[in-house]
Structure 1
Amino acid sequence: MNNRTPDPHAQEVVRLESVRKVYGGTMNAVTALDDVSIGLNRGTFTAVMGPSGSGKSTFLHCAAGLDRPTSGSILLDGVDLAPLGERELTKLRRERIGFIFQAFNLLPALSVVDNVTLPLRLAGQRPKLAAVDDVLERVGLGDRRNSRPGELSGGQQQRVAIARALITRPAVIFGDEPTGALDTYTASEVLTLLREAVEQSDQTIVMVTHDPVAAAHADRVVFLADGRIVGSLDRPTADQVAARLTHLGAWGSRTVAQQAGHEVLR
């Protein structure tokens, strides 16, 4: 008989605990994250939103191991990032994290296939043809494998970036405004691909966005203001997200934001 108490964090692929991030020195310190604690479960799609300067990008950079917090702890796929050196962090990011950026970040001289398989090659792994074919078919680029990025539309280039993020079967994919450079129709196609990755492949996605329509594709939308989490919505509509953002933008002080967040989270 198993009498062990279940670990409440067992399903969390990302865990931030009391994370603070302060930029600058004593005289010009700016607190980008202020005592942030949150867990993100495996197989979920989370959108992170907030007004300009709310800490969204810092949240993503710290959670993904691209920046180190001033204090607090971050666990990614069960690994504590704090004691890792730069080489170990690079290895972890390469093997367990996928990234999708607004600017696509493709190498123009490489074909679609070579761009997609680059993370595997950098890790010293030989790409498996079947896996490459599968991921290209999933993103609708099975017939463009030998094309260069310059021969593709913006939406197709972002599909290459999604395939590149998926090919290593990462523990989590972080997206930084992944639809910011796309038109409405193409953005919807890309978001549908991300949604399918969650539902069909149990992928975990964390996406920073300013777009309520994009956020409405997520399971949960987390709102930041003044470096703190001030509320969340589960499977909201775009109108609900937009309404919440309007209130966040109107809050002029941290005290008001904290009070509103307290009401939301009750």
Structure 2
Amino acid sequence: MNRNKDRRTSVNGTDAVWLDDVRKAYGRGESRVEALRGVTMSFTRGSFTAVMGPSGSGKSTFLHCAAGLDLPSSGSVVLDGQELNGMNENQLTRLRRERVGFIFQAFNLMPALNVEQNVGLPFRLAGRRPDRSSVVEVLGRVGLAERRKHLPSELSGGQQQRVAIARALIMRPAVIFADEPTGALDTQTTIEVLQLFRETAVSGGQTIIMVTHDPVAASAAHRVLFLADGQFIGELEAPTADVVAERMTHLTAWQQTRTTQSTGRGGFR
């Protein structure tokens, strides 16, 4: 990751997402909280990256800023070649709808819609008729082609998460943000979901950015980025679960020490 790259590199398409000196603060005066402190990160197209950090490290704020769900207090974010600063809410909504997919720990499926209808929902939200061939194709990719007429209540938790993944993939977004996507899944289903993420990145050329607390899940990514106390701390290429877990132990202790030493300075807690 080149922290000194030219902005044009990201705008012209080398990176799917680029954060440049991003800061995010909430509140004012003594109640001011800095959630991100000058974060610079880049995510190349077709990569699968895990983002980790102790509780209170700024992971959720990072995801919201990177995905255009929230705008930074300063700094800039480039998402699929689009500079988010200066966009109005309608423009941001359109960008997220057309170029971004979201997967969460809570599956967020519509209980009254069957699998096929849930997956096709992004088409309807965009004012378009669902492309049935695309829906069937993406359901085949996640192993649910035979379940397309089932309701969410008729599926296991792992199957429901696969439906959520298919829904995120259906519009062929440039970037997929996954927030603790395996937190509610059993071990075998977790392995299958993570394998699907890698295949999506490598074969589909889509960029996967996954926030997780699980070293095993993180070890499935091409690399892991670490946040602590609202700052980018470091990264691991070709990570293993043991090395990730060890790094997280050190980061948690480091953040706790900083919190104790700097209580009252308005940092993120």
TM-score, normalising length: structure 1: 0.91
Number of the residue aligned with 1:27: 30
Corresponding residue number in structure 2 for 1:163: 166
Tell me the secondary structure at the aligned position of residue 34 of structure 2.
strand
Please tell me whether the aligned partners of residues 121 and 130 of structure 2 are also in contact (alpha carbons under 8 angstroms): no
SS in 1 for 2:184: coil
Q: 1:150 aligns with which of 150, 153, 171?
A: 153
Provide the rounded CA distance (Å) in 2 between the counterparts of 1:180 and 1:25: 34
Q: Which amino acid aligns with 2:183?
A: G
1:253 aligned to 242, 255, 258, which one? 258
Per mean C-alpha deviation after superposition, the further-off stretch among 206-215 and 20-29 is 20-29
Aligned position for 1:207: 210
Q: How does 1:134-145 map to 2 (within 5 A)?
A: 134-145=137-148
Structure 1 residue 11: deviation in Å? 1.2
Residues 47-62 of structure 1 mapped to structure 2, 5 A cutoff:
47-62=50-65
Answering whether residue 251 of structure 2 is matched by residue 243 of structure 1, we say no
Match of 1:14 among 17, 22, 41: 17
Deviation at 1:81, TM superposition (A): 0.9
Letter of the 1:107 partner, please give it.
M
Q: Deviations over 1:183-240 (max 9, x none)?
A: 1121111111111111221111000000000001111100000100000000111111
Please tell me the residue identity of whatever aligns with 2:258.
Answer: S
Deviates most, 67-76 or 122-131: 122-131
**SS of residue in 1 equivalent to 2:195:** helix
Aligned length, in residue pairs = 252
What is the SS of the residue equivalent to 2:97? helix
Partners of 1:13 and 1:253 in 2: CA distance: 33
CA–CA distance in 2 between the matches of 1:73 and 1:203? 22
In structure 2, how many angstroms separate the alpha carbons of the residues matched to 1:201 and 1:78?
Answer: 18
Write the deviation string for residues 67-120 of structure 1: whole angstroms up to 9, x where unpaired: 111111111011111111111111111100000000011110011011101111
Q: 1:87 aligns with which of 66, 85, 90?
A: 90
User: Displacement, 1:121?
Assistant: 1.1
Q: Is the 8 A contact 2:19 2:40 kept in 1?
A: yes
Structure 1 unaligned blocks of 5 or more: 257-266
CA RMSD of aligned residues (A): 1.7
> Secondary structure of the equivalent of 1:253?
helix
Could you tell which deviates more after superposition, 191-200 or 38-47? 191-200
Distance 1:44 1:96 in 2: 16
Q: Which runs of 5+ in 2 are unaligned?
A: 1-5, 262-269
Quote the offset at 1:127 in angstroms. Answer: 2.3
Partner of residue 216, structure 1? 219
2:78 corresponds to which letter in structure 1?
A: L
Measure the CA separation in 1 of the matches of 2:173 and 2:258. 38
| DSSP-derived class of the 1:222 partner | strand
Partner of 2:3: none
Q: Is 2:237 aligned against 1:231?
A: no
State the alpha-carbon separation in 1 of the partners of residues 110 and 88 from structure 2: 27
Question: C-alpha distance in 2, partners of 1:82/1:26?
Answer: 25
TM-score (norm 2): 0.90
CA contact (8 A) 2:176 2:209 kept: yes
Distance 2:15 2:203 in 1: 19
Q: 2:120 touches 2:131 (CA, 8 Å); kept in 1?
A: no
What is the 5 A alignment of 1:122-137?
A: 122-137=125-140
What secondary structure sits across from 1:83 in the alignment? coil
CA drift of 1:8 comes to 4.1
In the alignment, residue 99 of structure 1 is paired with which amino acid? Answer: F
| Alignment match, 1:193 | 196
